[in-house]
Structure 1
Amino acid sequence: MRSTFKVLFFLKRDKKKKDGSVPVYCRITIDGKEARFGMKKDIDPKLWNVKEGKATGKSAESSSINILLDKTKAGIHKIYRDIQERENVVSAEKVKNTFLGIDSKQYLLLKTFDEQVAEKFDLIGKRIVKSTYYRYYYLRIRLSEFLVEKYHLADIPLREINYQFIHDFEMYLLIVRGNKQSTIAQYLILLKKILELAHKNELIFRNPFINYVIEDKKSERGYLTQIEVEVLMNWKFTKRLERTRDVFIFCCFTGLSFIDVFNLTGEKINLSIDGDYWIVGKRKKTNMDYFIPMMEIPKKILEKYKSQTFENGKLLPVKCNRVINDHLKEISKICGIKKHLTFHISRHTFATLTMSKGVSLESVSTMLGHRDIQTTKIYAKMTTERVGRDMAIFAESLAETEKKFVVNL
Structure 2
Amino acid sequence: MRTDSTLGINFFVRKKRNDPNMYDIYLRITVKKARAEVSLKRCIKVCNWDKKRGKAFPRNKTMEDLNAYLDTVYGEILNVHRDLHMERKLITAKSIKARYVGEDELNHTILELFEYHNKNMVHALKPGTMKNYYSTEKYLKSYIIIKLKTNDVLLGELKHKFILDFENYIRTFKPKKNRKTCSNNGTMKHLERLMKVTKLGVRLEWMDKDPFRNFKLRFDKFDRKYLTQREINLIEDTTFTSLGKERVKDVFLFSCYTGLTFMDIKLLTWDNVSRGIDGNYWIYTKRIKTDEPLKIPMLPKAVEIMEKYESAPQAGIALLPVYSNQKTNAYLKEIIKACGIHKNISFHTARHTFATTVTLSNGVPIETVSKMLGHTKLSTTQIYARVLENKIGQDMQHLIDKMGHLNKQQAVAE
Q: TM-score, normalised by structure 2?
A: 0.68
Query: Which residue in the other structure is 1:104 paired with?
Result: 102
1:51-73 deviation line (CA, Å, top 9, x unaligned): xxxxxxxxxxxxxxxxxxxxxxx
Instruction: Provide closer, same or farther for how the CA distance between residues 307 and 386 of structure 1 changes in structure 2, counting only shifts above 3 A.
Output: farther
Structure 1 residue corresponding to 2:134, chosen from 133, 137, 141: 137
1:339-364 deviation line (CA, Å, top 9, x unaligned): 22211111011011111111111000
Query: Which residue in the other structure is 1:122 paired with?
Result: 123
8 A contact 2:122–2:130 mirrored in 1:
yes
Query: Which residue in the other structure is 1:229 paired with?
Result: 232
1:174 positional shift? 1.4
Query: Which residue in the other structure is 1:382 paired with?
Result: 388
Instruction: Provide closer, same or farther for how the CA distance between residues 267 and 312 of structure 1 changes in structure 2, counting only shifts above 3 A.
Output: closer
For structure 1, which segment, 310-319 or 371-380, has the greater mean C-alpha deviation from structure 2 after superposition?
310-319
8 A contact 1:199–1:205 mirrored in 2:
yes
For the residue of structure 2 that corresponds to 1:371, the secondary structure is: coil
Equivalents in 1 of 2:122, 2:329: separation in Å?
26
8 A contact 1:182–1:218 mirrored in 2:
no
For structure 1, which segment, 302-311 or 189-198, has the greater mean C-alpha deviation from structure 2 after superposition?
302-311
Query: Which residue in the other structure is 2:146 paired with?
Result: 149
Instruction: Provide closer, same or farther for how the CA distance between residues 329 and 215 of structure 1 changes in structure 2, counting only shifts above 3 A.
Output: same
1:283-309 deviation line (CA, Å, top 9, x unaligned): 121111222111111111011111112
Structure 1 residue corresponding to 2:270, chosen from 262, 266, 272: 266
For the residue of structure 2 that corresponds to 1:382, the secondary structure is: helix
- Aligned AA (2:251): V
1:157-194 deviation line (CA, Å, top 9, x unaligned): 11111100001011111123431110011001100000
Query: Which residue in the other structure is 1:403 paired with?
Result: none
Query: Which residue in the other structure is 1:350 paired with?
Result: 354
The 5 A counterparts of 1:292-311 are 292-310=296-314
8 A contact 1:283–1:289 mirrored in 2:
yes
Structure 2 residue corresponding to 1:361, chosen from 363, 366, 376: 366
Equivalents in 2 of 1:387, 1:240: separation in Å?
39
Query: Which residue in the other structure is 2:201 paired with?
Result: 198
1:386 positional shift? 5.1
Query: Which residue in the other structure is 1:159 paired with?
Result: 156
1:80 positional shift? 7.5
8 A contact 1:356–1:386 mirrored in 2:
no
8 A contact 1:328–1:342 mirrored in 2:
yes
Instruction: Provide closer, same or farther for how the CA distance between residues 102 and 366 of structure 1 changes in structure 2, counting only shifts above 3 A.
Output: closer
1:271 positional shift? 1.1
| 2:176 corresponds to 1:170 | no
Instruction: Provide closer, same or farther for how the CA distance between residues 355 and 262 of structure 1 changes in structure 2, counting only shifts above 3 A.
Output: same
Instruction: Provide closer, same or farther for how the CA distance between residues 203 and 312 of structure 1 changes in structure 2, counting only shifts above 3 A.
Output: farther
- Aligned AA (1:307): S
For the residue of structure 1 that corresponds to 2:258, the secondary structure is: coil
8 A contact 1:356–1:383 mirrored in 2:
no
Instruction: Provide closer, same or farther for how the CA distance between residues 317 and 111 of structure 1 changes in structure 2, counting only shifts above 3 A.
Output: same
8 A contact 2:266–2:322 mirrored in 1:
yes
8 A contact 1:356–1:385 mirrored in 2:
no
For the residue of structure 1 that corresponds to 2:284, the secondary structure is: strand
Q: TM-score, normalised by structure 1?
A: 0.68
Query: Which residue in the other structure is 2:254 paired with?
Result: 250
Runs (4+) of structure 1 exceeding 3 A deviation are 79-82, 383-391
Superposition RMSD in Å: 2.7
8 A contact 1:221–1:379 mirrored in 2:
yes
Equivalents in 2 of 1:318, 1:137: separation in Å?
27
Query: Which residue in the other structure is 2:54 paired with?
Result: none
Instruction: Provide closer, same or farther for how the CA distance between residues 296 and 110 of structure 1 changes in structure 2, counting only shifts above 3 A.
Output: same
